[in-house]
Amino acid sequence: MGSHSPKEDVGKHSIKQAPKSGNTAFKLVLAAVAMFGFGFALVPLYDVFCEITGINGKITGPVERVEHWVDTSRTIKVQFITTNNAGMPWEFDALQEQVKVHPGAWTQAEFWALNPTKEDMVGQAVPSVSPSEATEYVQKTECFCFSQQSLKAGEGRNMPLIFSIDPRLPPHIRTITMSYTIFDAGAFAE
Amino acid sequence: MTTATAHHDDHGHHGPAKGIMRWVLTTNHKDIGSMYLWFSFTMLFIGGAMALIIRSELFQPGMQLIEPEFFNQMTTMHGLIMVFGVVMPAFVGLANWMVPLMVGAPDMALPRMNNWSFWILPFAFGMLLLTLFTEAGAPNFGWTFYAPLSTTYAPSSVTFFIFGVHMMGISSIMGAINIVVTILNLRAPGMTLMKMPLFVWTWLITAYLLIAVMPVLAGVVTMMLMDIHFGTSFFDAAGGGDPVLFQHVFWFFGHPEVYIMILPAFGIVSQIIPTFARKPLFGYASMVYATSSIAFLSFIVWAHHMFTVGLPLETELFFMYATMLIAIPTGVKVFNWVSTMFRGSMTFETPMLFALAFVVLFTIGGFSGLMLAIAPADFQYHDTYFVVAHFHYVLVPGALFGIIAGVYYWLPKWTGNYYDEKLGKFHFWMSFIGVNVTFFPMHFIGLAGMPRRIPDYALQFADFNAIATVGAFIFGFSQLVLLYVVIKSIRGGEKATDEVWEGAEGLEWTIPSPAPYHTFAEPPHVK
């Protein structure tokens, strides 16, 4: 390339403008870099947003066990759904399809997982609550979904879930579905 | 080096250097603009050939020509090439050519960077296209590359795709920075912001959109790269990530992106209609404010692409109403164009025909967009051919017709010769008929439930698919007429006057035709 500076290319008119142009360009480059950072900032922002609003059933936990006032006048039907992510070979089931609970009472549910393969595996269950409005009222002191589950080849195990529904649950919600999807977390084993 | 020494001469009196190195080393905005336009034109034929492969397979139900895996690669590559390789480079090319001429600047503000931002592109697309010849095949996850299709289940060529996107992103950002700096700093004395031609205005706003969202696209593909190769789990639920997060970040880029692809076309049409109606543009200030409003709104509507992922009701309502709000500034624009023509002395040369078709057909695409914005109805339309019909109506007779209109409008200024008006009109009518025959039936098969991105379909969709394929071939091959018209105009023809068009106003029509290699070495004064 030639040794002349770029501003000479464009004639006299722009020479006096060039410092100003460099300035503007620099600010715009900074803006672009900032937006690149913003793209990554969307990741924690998304998690915070989901936690605040309860979208996605992202339950924070485990919580400290607090004895609520038990609202015996209401009965909430809590349904359990289990799903295997594509390619996950485990047997994974809820041992009860549904339970009826009074808001405020602590309830234990059992889940069953079995690794039928000939290799040791690590699984991670990802929870979700429907309707999402109910998410913030679901409190768990213990859940197999809080940590990875390791199963040796052929090993099976009961996994507990201890939860309670906050009595402040809006009155129009009568049924809550808790869904768990099990993933092969071998690549992320801790 | 000849170019380097030549540049030390008096700037008004020398022409371009000779040979291939002129194009490699050029910092001239007209050369770079031409290269962008030829690059885009080449990509149009490559992406168009892919569209014809897709349409050929869909001519009849059943699988006849290609394997489903290859079909997926074709839909993906067609989308990527048309968005990033045709529409965006064509607009940058037009901006390179016309923005300095319209604001009375001698060149772009950052000519070296201009050269670089163009020359990255052929390498980015070369890399993307070469994946077609790898064993793994080209990317096959759709142009929206949703995770986990593009991460966990992606072909190994995805890494080339990611670097390709990085490169075209860098190119667009540099191009956008250059355009903003040129517009803000190199305007001729007296040209205040509110005296700028609308093409310049729409490009200024588009450039800001590019600077804001192309880095986010770069970010999302970087996250993919890290998920695939470095063991992170941004989008993998097994490791604590969330695939829906991908869609949020992608569409945070993706929705402003669709306005990036249409705002400059609004600008072109706003130049052409006043010329051929021989009346000043109706509502200039409202056009500027409407464009700015659209650009602002484009940042808060992204989740209307994701109504079916399981958003809470309040979120769906917010995005539904915010999306519908965009119809207001867009409506302002359409009514301004119509009012400009009202009682004008209209003539119907080829650029005007394309601009008129733009107004009518883009409005159809806008209306189907409003239908899609209705969250409860979107559950039926989502991922069907109705969506395909909608975005092709806004992109083909929208963005592409805008570009073609601009090419016909400014071609005599670029080449110094009028194009062949008869052939131009022939090209217009073939394109107009072809585009409608292709995309209008897609509304019906979409409403009837035909899913997009699937190589086979149920028998009841057969007739409309056959019609669409015929239309696609008419449309595709009529673009060869455009190629011929452009080459013919470069090689000769009736000499164009400086003004070119009887009713044209603006600085670009005050310089000779063809535009000399260097223009506005002394800035003009705008009253």
Q: Where are the domains of chain B?
A: 2-509
- B343-347: long-range contacts, CB 8 A cutoff, minimum separation 24: B343/B279, B344/B276, B344/B277, B344/B278, B344/B279, B345/B277, B345/B278, B345/B279, B345/B503, B346/B276, B346/B277, B346/B278, B347/B276
Q: Does B53 touch chain A (CB under 8 A)?
A: no
- Is there a single domain that holds both residue A77 and residue A120? yes
Beta-carbon contacts of residue A177 (< 8 Å; ≥ 6 apart): A78, A79, A80, A81, A129, A130
Between positions 109 and 168 of B, the ones with CB within 8 A of A are: 109-113
Q: Does B11 touch chain A (CB under 8 A)?
A: yes
Residue A125 lies in a domain: yes
Distance from CA of A67 to the nearest CA of B (A): 30
- Is there a single domain that holds both residue A178 and residue A132? yes
Number of domains in chain A: 2
Average pLDDT estimate for B194-201: 96
- Is there a single domain that holds both residue A99 and residue A170? yes
Residue found under tokens 């009253």: B527
- Is there a single domain that holds both residue A26 and residue A106? no
- Is there a single domain that holds both residue A144 and residue A178? yes
- Is there a single domain that holds both residue A133 and residue A158? yes
Give the CATH superfamily of B2-509.
Answer: Cytochrome c oxidase-like, subunit I domain (1.20.210.10)
Out of B211, B219, B242, whose CB is closest to A31? B211
pLDDT at A10 over 90: no
Domain range spanning residue A93? 61-188
pLDDT digits (tens, 9 = 90+) for B303-348: 999 999 988 888 899 999 999 999 999 999 999 999 999 999 999 9
Catalytic hit among B187, B279, B333, B518 = B333
- Is there a single domain that holds both residue A31 and residue A96? no
Residues in chain B closer than 8 A to A81 (CB atoms):
none
- Is there a single domain that holds both residue A65 and residue A133? yes
- Is there a single domain that holds both residue A117 and residue A176? yes
Q: Whole-number mean pLDDT of chain B?
A: 94
Residue found under tokens 């803000």: B184
Confidence of residue A89 (pLDDT cuts 50, 70, 90): very high
Confidence of residue B11 (pLDDT cuts 50, 70, 90): very low
The chain B residue lying nearest A12, using CA atoms, is: B521
Residue A42 lies in a domain: yes
The pLDDT of residue A9: 44
Residue A22 lies in a domain: yes
The pLDDT of residue A20: 78
- Is there a single domain that holds both residue A40 and residue A103? no
Is B292 designated active site?
no
Q: Whole-number mean pLDDT of chain A?
A: 84
Residue A2 lies in a domain: no
Residue A1 lies in a domain: no
- Is there a single domain that holds both residue A37 and residue A122? no
Average pLDDT estimate for A74-98: 93
Residue A175 lies in a domain: yes
Could you tell me which residues are beta bridge partners of residue A107? Answer: A163
- Is there a single domain that holds both residue A88 and residue A152? yes
Average pLDDT estimate for A37-45: 91
The pLDDT of residue A131: 85
Give the residue from A100, A103, A115 showing the smallest Cα distance to A159. Answer: A115
Average pLDDT estimate for A44-54: 79
pLDDT at A19 over 60: no
Burial of A48 (0-12, 13-18, 19+ CB in 10 A): exposed
